[in-house]
Amino acid sequence: MILDKPQVMDPDWMVFDPNPSKPRYAPPPGAVDAHCHVFGPAAVFPYAPERKYTPCDAGKEKLFALRDFLGFDRNVIVQATCHGKDNRAVVDALKAAGDRARGVATVGEDITEKELAELDAAGVRGVRFNFLRRLADFTPHDVLRRIADKVAPFGWHVVVYFEAPDLAELRPLFTSLPTKVIVDHMGRPDVKLGVDHPQFQSFVNLLADHENIWSKVTCPERLTVAGPPYDDVVPFARTLVERFPDRVLWGTDWPHPNIKTIMPDDGVLVDHIPKIAVTEALRQALLVDNPMRLYWDH
Ligand code: 0GY
């Protein structure tokens, strides 16, 4: 066992796999897990009162142990909704990781320039807008635009999380943002529809039409119908990796919030990488060059 089993605080919640398999695929030197979270521990970093779920504690030490076990060098730690706009757990993890982590925060429009500068100094390079009602309350688009305007001078980007049926309504917002826009989990397509369906093609077209929009090719475990090893999700991720090789990111999504059926084995998730990025050049871009350009080189 490489990770201690966490305390379960919510009967709905499945705990992360404390004993992932060693992946057969070895990532290249400098590889970045560009989508993962830290939760608590609640005794030090309490969960937000407005949260929609209570996770198990999953602190930075466990994340770093997993990073090393899976063969990665760096993390991008993304603020999760259970911590609301209180970014202390992420900032604490960033400071502990030194140069080996960068972060994405959640902020309100009342954030000051000084607070943004402090987050920037800690390694934050983006803000996240969440459009899933099961995770976060609605925020008016003009508020989100003002937040994006505030973070743009820092060279930050905006990470957006939404589900495919909502893209048409959200597209005007995304395409009007002054920053790079990074889409979580391929815009959450319905894999039953297939890659050629207008639903996924409208997402592909969004990236084709806007060079500032990127996609994370993450979370096959959330999108799959077939279950592990998630081969039904491969064509979606592979399409994006091959069409937009310089604008894709990969991450584990550890500790996998809100997974209610089969908790993924992180080793199996890593073994998904060579199926979606089939050449060494594509894997180097996906795992090293793209995240380094977006999160480290500025
Ligand atoms: C993810 C996915 C989820 C949760 C969150 O911030 C969050 O709470 O992002 C989800 O429930 O689909 O990327 O972690």
| Residue 206: CATH number of its domain | 3.20.20.140
24 assigned to some structural domain:
no
Q: What's the CA-to-centroid distance between 161 and ligand 1, angstroms?
A: 8
Element (H, E) at 292: none
Count of C-beta atoms within a 10 Å radius of residue 138: 7
Helix ranges (H only) for 46-185 are 60-70, 88-97, 113-122, 141-151, 167-176
Give the Å distances, CA to CA, from 74 to 40, 133, 283, 288.
Answer: 20, 31, 15, 9
Whether the CB of 54 sits within 6 Å of ligand 1 = no
193 assigned to some structural domain:
yes
Q: Cis omega before residue 255 (within 30°)?
A: yes
- Residue 60: per-residue pLDDT: 97
Contact 178, 149 (CB under 8 A): yes
6 assigned to some structural domain:
no
pTM, entire model: 0.96
Domain that holds residue 137: 32-296
Tell me the best of 13, 137, 258 to mutate to test the pocket of ligand 1, counting ligand atoms within 8 Å of each CB and taking the most: 258
Whether the CB of 17 sits within 6 Å of ligand 1 = no
18 assigned to some structural domain:
no
17 assigned to some structural domain:
no
DSSP 8-state class, residue 74: E
182 assigned to some structural domain:
yes
- Residue 158: per-residue pLDDT: 98
Place of tokens 């997993």: 66
What's the length of the chain? Answer: 298
Q: How many domains does the chain contain in total?
A: 1
What are the backbone angles phi and psi of residue 158, rounded to the nearest 5°? -115, 130
26 assigned to some structural domain:
no
Q: How far is the C-alpha of 269 from the C-alpha of 249, rounded, in Å?
A: 14
27 assigned to some structural domain:
no
Contact 245, 282 (CB under 8 A): yes
Sign, Cα dihedral of 259, 105, 297, 242: positive
Tell me the best of 81, 215, 219, 249 to mutate to test the pocket of ligand 1, counting ligand atoms within 8 Å of each CB and taking the most: 81
Strand residues in 9-132 grouped as ranges (E): 32-36, 74-78, 101-105, 124-130
Q: Which residues of the chain carry a pLDDT beneath 70?
A: 1-13, 298
